[in-house]
Chains A and B, each alone.
Chain A
Amino acid sequence: MNRLALIAAAFLPLCGFAADTLHVYTWADYVSPDVVEAFEDEHDCKVVIDTFDSNESMYARIKAGAAGYDLIFPTSYMVKVMQAEGILRDLDHAALPNLKNIDPDVLTKVHDAKMTVSVPYTVGYAVIAVRKDRIKDAEASWTMFDRTDLGRRSTLFDDMRETVGAALKSLGYSLNSRDEKQLAEARDVVIRWKKNIAKFDNEGYKAGLDSGEFLLVHGYSGDLFQVTEENDRVEILVPKEGVTIGCDEMVIPKNAPQPALALKFINYLLDAEVAAKNMQWMGYLCPNTEALKRVSADFLENPAVTVPEEIKARCEVIDDLGPDLAKWTKVWDEIKAAP
């Protein structure tokens, strides 16, 4: 009897009864449910998705030893941190033929250009958006924040890297500058802008722009794209001086129970047809050259999807600053303390 059970148990996986489960740890509504379902059918497995709300909280858990996830979607700078910790598995490129679809441009910006441990999943820009019904002569430039005629109805990110980064860009410097003189100049720019804005804000700008409370906001392209879908009086502008690029990537932790299945899922998401369907569902841009040929014209109209090449060249990914971070914190404190 026992032996029989053992034999049965041994054959179960072959018969496909015991379906494998893939555990994905990602942002909410970041993969289309249809795409997930199609993958489950194709590979006879189950995909369980858990969500986190910030890179820091995800990292705190993983660092403390939380295990069981096969695939995680951290932002580029967090990939660097996790790789340095040695908790990411090297990717087997032979199992990822669809890597060829990745936009080579994006790879020049991200930390892990050779995709040793991470594959870019989405790309977003920190841009500005305006109510074009209220601001007639809006310009795609950071100098918009110097305008005093908006009645302080604008917002800048409450985020040191984004806002000081924007000021550095407006001066023509790198947004990863470690030069104290450049940072001091950027500080003065932000203090000047601060007099013209309503507040530093990370969450309320979408609703505020939609309702007309704010006329000009500094926000993420994916979020602002959602606002333009709802409200055609809102227009996204990509400042010509250059902006920050955010890139969320896919990584497999070393302690993943199902690394082979995770590789299959990555490869599936990189498939041109799948990626086209997926990005139109979630509203964020996948840096997938083949997929972009298959999306609707509406989607391509999104200015944050088709950024002009000369602006793209001035965009940068936020890089980890190491010990120089202190210089930034000091400048940010001075900005916050300024009247």
Chain B
Amino acid sequence: MKRSLLPLLITALVLVFFYAPLVVLVVNSFNESRFGGTWEGFTLKWYEKLWAADEVWAALWVTLKVAVTATLAATVLGTLAAWVLRSYATKFQGVHHGLVTLPLVVPDLLMGMALLALFVSLGVETGIVTIWIAHVTFCISYVAMVVLGRLRDFDPTLIDAARDLGASPWQAARKVVLPLLLPGILAGALLAFTLSIDDFVITFFVSGPGTTTLPLRIAGMMKTSRNLPVINALSSLLLCLTCLAVTVSYRLNRPPAKS
């Protein structure tokens, strides 16, 4: 019997759909041509220019500072929010639930404008702190949603069992609840990190002097820069770093091979 080629075809199409843009980007980072329309020869000049592009590095640094700290804060707060939403039924349960989900549905533009209006009316100068606050605000919701999903499968009687067996509340939380929720928490944290690192619209409004993040910088370069392929070079480097980190973490997590 001849096997159908359809699954193979669909797989190939999906792979092209997902990865073709990345391949084009990496290839163009070595392209002599500034516009990437045609292949003009191999060059490393964009990497050289990237090395000297202080403003791009400064923007990357701001972005990472915000993303790491905002992810930490949002993960803790989001997990707590999910736990409380799940564990305590009050009259206002629905309202609380709605408040936590609201940032998911509010358009970014509205949120950015609203946050800026708030900061201005409070007399807070926009800068890295306001970017951080904004990012924590929208990241909390995503973390809470992911952790809530995980909590649906969580059996609360496990806590009672642990307590019966002599665990203190703290021990029960640390040794029973946390390990069971960890995949959800980590997934939420990763989501928060990705959202924070490439947020444009909200960041645009709440950023201040000296805090241009990488997405803002790239958007600016689209218009006037003569060195746009520098961004291809940077993205290729980030892509390599990400792949490396993922590979390493897989290696570390893999159970030892059985002999």
Contacts and interface: CB of A to CB of B under 8 A. Distances in A.
A213 B37 CA distance: 9
A64 B120 contact: yes
A49 B55 contact: yes
Interface residues of A, number: 39
B212 to A, nearest CB: 5
Given A50-B209, A64-B205, A29 B221 contact: yes
B209 A27 contact: no
A28 B217 contact: yes
Interface of A: 21, 23, 25, 27-30, 33, 48-54, 57, 60-61, 64-69, 203, 206-208, 210-213, 222, 226-227, 230, 282-284
8 contacts: A29-B225, A30-B224, A51-B217, A61-B204, A68-B208, A210-B34, A212-B37, A230-B33
B61 to A, nearest CB: 13
Interface in B119-161: 119-120, 125-127
A212 B39 CA distance: 12
Given A33-B54, A68-B209, A28 B38 contact: no
Given A61-B204, A65-B116, A48 B209 contact: yes
B226 interface: yes
Contacts of A28: 217, 220-225
Contacts of A23: 209-210
Contacts of A212: 37-38
Given A61-B116, A66-B116, A211-B35, A50 B223 contact: no
Given A64-B205, A65-B116, A210 B220 contact: no
B227 interface: yes
B192 to A, nearest CB: 25
Interface of B: 33-38, 40, 54-55, 113, 116-117, 119-120, 125-127, 204-205, 207-212, 216-217, 219-227
Nearest to B217: A51
Contacts of A25: 209
A282 B127 CA distance: 28
Given A64-B117, A65-B116, A50 B224 contact: no
Given A29-B224, A53-B222, A283-B226, A226 B34 contact: yes
Contacts of A282: 224, 226
A211 B28 CA distance: 14
Nearest to A65: B120
Given A29-B221, A52-B220, A283-B226, A65 B117 contact: yes
A53 B219 contact: yes
A262 to B, nearest CB: 12
B208 A66 contact: yes
Secondary structure of the A contact surface, majority rule: mixed
Nearest to A25: B209
A207 B37 contact: yes
A37 to B, nearest CB: 10
B169 to A, nearest CB: 47
Nearest to B116: A64
A27 B125 contact: no
Contacts of B117: 64-65
Contacts of A27: 220, 223-224
B24 to A, nearest CB: 12
Nearest first, the 5 A-B pairs at minimum CB distance are A211-B37, A51-B220, A65-B120, A28-B220, A207-B35
Contact of A69 (B38, B209, B227): B209
Nearest to B212: A50
Given A64-B117, A203-B222, A210-B33, 12 more contacts: A25-B209, A28-B224, A29-B224, A48-B210, A49-B55, A51-B221, A64-B120, A66-B205, A207-B36, A207-B37, A210-B34, A284-B224
Contacts of B222: 28, 53, 203
B120 A208 contact: no
B223 A210 contact: no
A50 B210 contact: yes
A21 B117 CA distance: 26
A226 B226 contact: yes
A320 B15 CA distance: 49
A220 to B, nearest CB: 10
Contact of B126 (A33, A68, A213): A68
A230 B116 contact: no
A48 B207 CA distance: 14
Contact of A57 (B36, B204, B217): B204
Nearest to A282: B226
B30 to A, nearest CB: 16
A29 B212 CA distance: 14
